[in-house]
Structure 1
Amino acid sequence: MLIGAAVVLFIASFLGISGCDLPGNACDAFDSPFSWEVSPLGWGSFLLGIAGAALVVVSRALPQQQQRKVAGLELGQLGVAFTVAAAWTLLMWVFESSSAGAGLILGLIASLALAGAAIAGPLVPALQAPLLSAPRPQTPQPYGMQAGQAGPAGQFGQQGAPGGYGYPGAQQQPYGAQPDPSLGGGQQPFGGQGPAQGQAPAQAQPQGQAAPAHGQAPAADFAPFWFAVPVARPLYGEDGSPAPIAELAPGTWYLAVEQRGQALVAQTQDGRRGVLQDTTGIQRG
């Protein structure tokens, strides 16, 4: 609807802006100017509305982390302001004109539809999704390990070995799901350990000392990873406050920097950190 209204507004800019109420055949010789022959109307109304539509479309085409700001405003917000200003100035031209032509009337209708579509965009969930998907982040590597270098079996971030994280042939498992044995080991569930891990240290401990529970990795074994949420989920402060500090949106990659039980400490693109309590169904990058 937004693009269609902008096209109609562009067509209306080449139609006559003045009508003719003269008696007889006098109107046959009347040549009505169009908007581009009247600079304040063409450049201040029609072009302003078309530019606003272009800014809104570009804003919706970019992922959230690639949004740009002009004078503190996002491109979409600036585009909405342009479309509203164009509709207002065209309304004033129609009121001030003694005989409005087809260009003014059609331009006013198109500018009102354009402003309405631009304003309703952030309010309609179906129109909030970006037209381009977010770029896939680079897989974080363990400290001191190069990309493609084989590391210890089951180590997070291993590249080049079948079954390791990031291996192209391995199917990604949902967060908390069990790996498929047919994939040659596959990706281990988040917080779990591969076979034979955590058992050898337990045998070397004295008999009077309890061994760590099998399947529980110590906090030192956690490595940051990228993830995306399937639906919008709140991010709460690390101080335990009940009010969310941000909202994680689907289609955007976030960095998990710490694990707290079943929850994750996530970092947003603007540097804010908080606790994601609901980690079901997240997709690891």
Structure 2
Amino acid sequence: MADPPPPFTPSASAADLPPAPPAIRHDVSPTSNAPLALAESGFTFCDENPLVPPQHLTAASLEEISRGALTLVVPPYKAYLNHVTVASSPENGLPIVSTSSNCPDTALLSSLPLYAAGFHHPANTGSPKHIYFEVRLLRLPRRADKGAVAIGFAAKPYPPFRLPGWNRGSLAVHGDDGHRYCNNAFGGSEFMEAPWRVGETVGIGMTFGTGRVGGGGGEVWVERNGKRVGGWEITEEVDSIDSMRGGDPKIGLDGRWDVYAALGVFGGGIQVEVSKFESV
């Protein structure tokens, strides 16, 4: 009788194995899509409004950022002032965003950047920078195609009539389809279970570390109800560049520009509590 074969010993470590298959990308969202005219307007906005350089911040502003003492700002245009409000919760003082009927696609940015490139860049501090933004869903429409929430980050200026993730210098995860978007005006990439539901808490974080593109941003992660559900590297999105527009998804997010928390909403009957801003 032949001797039994020797025990199997893998010849390669986990680091030597091929990477996981890329996320499935879509040309359109399976739930809701903005009109083509608005998409074109978003491109035009970005063409006409270049990213602004990092701003100079006072010591008081930097202290507010470090304490997470921020809020979200409604775009200063009549179309949004009639449909979106931000008020302090009477219970805990946290910002609450509410929408009324027929609220258009709207992007609200934080009052100050969570990542201030002139102060937080790893080349200046010698340490990685982590930012995080979390919301609690208090009220949502019954149907995801009638209204939804998106959370992410954006550099300024960002078109206020576009959800985060759709245009230059922004990334986001959308609660209606669960897709992630990074300068992607199409259908994004499959990422997490959706739709999000009332009572859930969803957060998104980003790390600006040494040795990355521009010396800055690279890793993104998402939490749901206190548990990490996944993440990705900004460099994974390079292949999704819109060659017709020359849109590099890293622009605005690679550590050279200020980065703001970004909340996207559309549709009426939405109420969201911003439960956490972190910059550590």
Above 0.5 in TM-score? no
* Greater fraction of residues in helix: 1
Calculate the TM-score normalised by the size of structure 1.
0.23
TM-score of the two chains, using structure 2 as the length reference: 0.23
Rg larger for: 1
Task: Give the number of the structure whose residues are more often strand, by fraction.
Answer: 2
